[in-house]
């Protein structure tokens, strides 16, 4: 089933090749601008709360990878407008496959994964400058952490999308969540205790960037948090799916 969706997807996407390039280049430009910001700032200081410029660049590079995975699979920012208001969810519910899975497949944007390449390139650049050594287990842990981070990101956004099942709220919460997720790009110890708590346990975006990256940077005091990444990812995602299922039950019950 998945492969049928995939082949349809590739067919439609390849028709608009120019669009893909334009998207890719404007994404690249956004990343470049963010990097320029970091570089200019570090022209004026050597350390950011104990983190050096190359470490910050490394964290940023790392953050780009689960973000790219998230953008590829969890494109649900317009869930309210498209599926609830316009009623597309009804069409989805007539099919025998889990609704969330269908929506993920429908809204797949695999070309976003190219952003992961940018992230990996940035990490290698910074890692090189930091003289980080690559161990045999690093690639496996990397994939584990990336999946964990993407699940955290996806889980939070699914939970927000679920609000549409219960309230008629306009989901301008999505841009807010996106902004909050950007807090996870920087080391979480620059924020005060309350924000650190929120970014770790409530809206755990710190697990998308700084905590897993800290492992590769050899920051031993953060290791517990790094290894917690896949756990938090799975937990949040499962909670999100449970809430989703409840939401769909309510949606069905309302006679839709």
Partner 1 sequence: MDKYLEMIRIRFLMMLAYRTNYYTGILIYSINIGAYYFLWSAIYGNKEQIVGLSVTQMTTYVAVSWMARAFYFNNLDREMALEIMEGKVAVELIRPYNYLGMKVMQGLGEGIFRLFFFSAPGLIIVYFVFPVKFTWDLSVWGLFAISILLSFFINTELNLLTGITTFFIYNNSGLIRAKRVVIDLFSGLLLPISFFPGWAQAVMKYLPFQGISYFPSMIVTKGFSQAQAIDAITQQFVWVILLFFPIQILWSLAKKQLIIQGG
Give the nearer residue to partner 1 in terms of CB position, either 41 or 97. Answer: 41
Residues 6+ apart with CB under 8 A from 39: 53
Contact with partner 1 (CB under 8 A) among 6, 8, 10, 29? 29
Contact between 179 and partner 1 by CB under 8 A: the answer reads yes
Contact between 167 and partner 1 by CB under 8 A: the answer reads no
**Which has the closest alpha carbon to 243: 176, 170, 169, 163?**
163
Q: How far is the CB of 230 from partner 1 (least distance, A)?
A: 26
Contact between 194 and partner 1 by CB under 8 A: the answer reads no
Contact between 201 and partner 1 by CB under 8 A: the answer reads no
Contact between 183 and partner 1 by CB under 8 A: the answer reads yes
Q: Name the region of 167 (left: φ>0; alpha: ψ -120 to 50; beta: rest).
A: beta
Cα 243 to Cα 165: distance, rounded to the nearest angstrom: 10
Contact between 63 and partner 1 by CB under 8 A: the answer reads no
Angle, nearest 10°, between helix axes 99-106 and 2-15?
Answer: 30
Q: Are 148 and 232 in contact (CB under 8 A)?
A: yes
Contact between 4 and partner 1 by CB under 8 A: the answer reads no
Supply 60's token pair. Answer: 């940023």
Give the nearer residue to partner 1 in terms of CB position, either 62 or 244. Answer: 62
Angle, nearest 10°, between helix axes 17-41 and 2-15?
Answer: 90
Q: How far is the CB of 49 from partner 1 (least distance, A)?
A: 5
Which residues sit at the interface with partner 1, rule CB under 8 A?
Answer: 18-19, 22-23, 25-26, 29-30, 33, 36-37, 40-41, 43-45, 47-49, 170, 172-173, 175-176, 179-180, 182-183, 186, 190-192, 195
């Amino acid at each position: 089933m998945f492969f049928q969706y995939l082949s349809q997807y590739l067919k439609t996407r390849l028709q608009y090749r120019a669009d893909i390039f334009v998207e890719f280049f404007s994404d690249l430009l956004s990343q470049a601008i963010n990097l320029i910001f970091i570089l200019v700032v570090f022209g004026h200081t050597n350390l950011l709360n104990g983190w050096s410029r190359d470490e910050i660049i490394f964290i940023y590079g790392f953050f780009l990878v689960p973000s790219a995975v998230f953008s590829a699979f969890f494109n649900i920012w317009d869930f309210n407008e498209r599926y609830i208001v316009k009623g597309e969810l009804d069409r989805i519910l007539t099919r025998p496959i889990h609704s969330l899975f269908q929506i993920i497949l429908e809204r797949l944007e695999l070309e976003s994964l190219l952003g992961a390449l940018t992230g990996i390139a940035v990490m290698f650049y910074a890692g090189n400058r930091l003289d980080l050594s690559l161990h045999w287990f690093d690639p496996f842990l990397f994939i584990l952490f990336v999946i964990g981070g993407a699940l955290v990101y996806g889980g939070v956004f699914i939970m927000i999308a679920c609000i549409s099942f219960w309230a008629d709220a306009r989901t301008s919460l999505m841009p807010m969540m996106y902004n909050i997720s950007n807090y996870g790009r920087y080391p979480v110890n620059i924020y005060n205790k309350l924000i650190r708590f929120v970014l770790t346990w409530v809206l755990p975006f710190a697990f998308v960037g700084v905590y897993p990256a800290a492992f590769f940077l050899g920051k031993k005091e953060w290791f517990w948090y790094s290894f917690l990444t896949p756990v938090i990812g799975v937990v949040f995602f499962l909670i999100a799916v449970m809430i989703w299922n409840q939401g769909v039950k309510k949606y069905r019950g309302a006679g839709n």
